[in-house]
Structure 1
Amino acid sequence: MQQHLQSPAAPLPTEHRAPRRRTGRLAGAAAALAAVIGLGTLTSPGAHAADNPYERGPAPTVSSIEALRGPYAVSETSVSSLLVSGFGGGTVYYPTSTSDGTFGAVVVSPGYTADQSSMSWLGPRLASQGFVVFTIDTLSRYDQPDSRGRQLLAALDYLTQRSSVRTRIDSTRLGVMGHSMGGGGSLEAAKSRPSLQAAIPLTPWNTDKTWPEVRTPTLIIGADGDTIAPVSSHSEPFYTSLPSTLDRAYLELNSASHFTPNSNNTTIAKYSISWLKRFIDNDTRYEQFLCPIPRPSTTIEEYRGNCPHTS
């Protein structure tokens, strides 16, 4: 095991679709106003934590979710393919401290012909915000989305039942992510296991274009310049086919390609953290970044979605 210490960084909803190519200043102002007058619990983290036992970490800010590292120091451990079945091994990133109790967990699949290194940036970035993150290798670099979906679930089962960090994980609070065919695989996993709390397909590819069976809150991230999985034939129909009653969102990256998710990206991280926190941790402190829905900006071409359901 190799330990890396990271320093802290500073009723049915109506669906909304933000118009393209407009400044994000209004959303920022609205979110700031909501934080002041509509989300008073942000100033009382102790009381809020008492209401939500899954809440982890301090009250979020734009700076904290855009930072390269969150408040938790992170350790990592490698998992050999020889010691597991159903997927190809990988690397687990997790908060070093156990003082806050257990954490939710997320498994991340790479895309076609790629390995876990293509998604490794997400490991410490998400783990430092209070998640156990498992970036995996697949059985074959050429596995199709349905196989990658099964492998994501096999990796979750290993993580929660047999891994060395299993006692750090709340096995009821799990999510999946993936790039390209791994993104298509994350939809397959969510379809197969509706108990998952969150799914985030990144520039996803799949021959199946409709996902009415999905019951997992899903954030689909596409790219306006994607020529391998064009949003018009992949991300957009995937999103529109999700049930309208579902917590769902579609974020289209501006000036981005199919391979944008393969390197550190603040926009992907910011909204992935917010989505995972809101739906895996039930942490309503992060709703301010999802509602009002983000406006188009230099990094966001388009955003569609609804404000999260409240329980």
Structure 2
Amino acid sequence: MSDTPQTSSPTRTSHRRRLRRLGSGLATTAALVGLLTSLTGGAQAADNPYERGPAPTTASIEAGRGPYAVSQTSVSRLAVSGFGGGTIYYPTSTADGSFGAVAVSPGYTAYQSSIAWLGPRLASQGFVVFTIDTLTTSDQPDSRGTQLLAALDYLVQSSTVRSRIDAGRLGVMGHSMGGGGTLEAAKSRPSLQAAIPLTGWNLDKTWPEITTPTLVVGADGDTIAPVATHSQPFYSTLPSSTDRAYIELRGATHFTPNSSNTTIAKYSISWLKRFIDNDTRYEQFLCPLPAVSLTIAESRGNCPHTS
């Protein structure tokens, strides 16, 4: 065996240098990719921890069901106080963490069955939804507002799904006197993140106290709560500093919200997502304002939204 030290050939040394440069370049590229990820996707996730579900499309918010499978549970009026029980609809999976919640009131002489379609429709988009019965079917709007708040309190404090709910992300909806009750609830509890009165009825026509983002839905053929004396003044008296919108359904009546309706669902989902989840991906469906169409007679709003 020779004691002469072995030396690398010029070709072998050049090859090693190229490999070192390649490795250094790959490491630099990986670092840049990591930095870009932290500045884009990671930052977006940190900015909006409440974003739920895939990026929306017109088709996805008009669909009869959203991306979440839905379960439901009944709540007996005997097991609660302050309202008449109801049905809770919620995303079955807990993989995405907690969700915002919405309580929905029926109208005068009506039961929760009259607004039951909203339960699975909204829950499948990533909300816990509580369609309630009132203490009596003749309860007036102020009472219905109080009952909506009692239902939300039950949801976050005592219900079997309370661990699935973010108590800071709550909203209210209602039909007719339940819509009037929605305004009452928003007036009483400014911490609510969204309110949607559907063909609402209330003797009080002015709502300058409301700071909750509010979507008012009226119907051009409503003879029980005509838009000229209900939905339009409800909207116009909301503070201009409040995020607000008005959609008047075309060819609709006071009872249109009692049946599955794509226009109501589309804009309700967008409003709830935008303000309860702070999900600006849904802003595109609200601003610019919805155009006059076969289903929309008029729309108003203060685009762009501020909150």
The answer to whether TM tops 0.5 is yes
In the alignment, is the contact (CA less than 8 A) between 2:243 and 2:306 conserved in 1? no
Residue 86 in structure 1 maps to residue 103 in structure 2: no
Shift of 1:307: 1.6
For 2:293, which of 297, 301, 307 is the aligned residue?
297
Residue 156 in structure 1 maps to residue 152 in structure 2: yes
Residue 55 in structure 1 maps to residue 79 in structure 2: no
For 2:192, which of 196, 206, 213 is the aligned residue?
196
In the alignment, is the contact (CA less than 8 A) between 1:45 and 1:59 conserved in 2? no
Q: Greater CA radius of gyration, 1 or 2?
A: 2
SS at match of 1:176: strand
Shift of 1:51: 2.4
SS at match of 1:219: strand
User: Gaps spanning 5+ residues in structure 1: where?
Assistant: 1-43
SS at match of 2:180: helix
The higher-RCO structure (CA 8 Å, 6+ apart) is: 1
Give the counterpart letter for 2:103 in structure 1. V
In the alignment, is the contact (CA less than 8 A) between 1:45 and 1:58 conserved in 2? no
Detail structure 1 runs of 4+ shifted over 2 Å in the superposition. 44-51, 308-311
Structure-2 change in CA distance of 1:203 and 1:101 (3 Å): same
Q: Using the alignment, how far apart are the partners of 1:252 and 1:48 within structure 2?
A: 34
Counterpart for residue 225 of structure 1: 221
Q: Using the alignment, how far apart are the partners of 1:206 and 1:152 within structure 2?
A: 15
Deviation string, structure 1 residues 108-161 (Cα, Å, up to 9, x no partner): 000000000000000000000000000000000000000000000000000000
For 2:273, which of 274, 277, 281 is the aligned residue?
277
Residue 109 in structure 1 maps to residue 105 in structure 2: yes
Shift of 1:231: 0.3
Counterpart for residue 251 of structure 1: 247
Q: Using the alignment, how far apart are the partners of 2:302 and 2:261 within structure 1?
A: 23
Shift of 1:46: 6.8
For 2:141, which of 123, 132, 145 is the aligned residue?
145
Deviation string, structure 1 residues 35-88 (Cα, Å, up to 9, x no partner): xxxxxxxxx877633421000000000000000000000000000000000000
Identical aligned residues as a percent = 81
Give the counterpart letter for 2:78 in structure 1. L
What is the TM-score with the length of structure 1 in the denominator? Answer: 0.85
Aligned residues: 268
Q: Using the alignment, how far apart are the partners of 2:233 and 2:79 within structure 1?
A: 38
Residue 119 in structure 1 maps to residue 118 in structure 2: no
Residue 76 in structure 1 maps to residue 84 in structure 2: no
More helix by share: 2
In the alignment, is the contact (CA less than 8 A) between 2:240 and 2:302 conserved in 1? no
In the alignment, is the contact (CA less than 8 A) between 2:201 and 2:225 conserved in 1? yes
What is the TM-score with the length of structure 2 in the denominator? Answer: 0.86
Q: Using the alignment, how far apart are the partners of 1:136 and 1:256 within structure 2?
A: 24
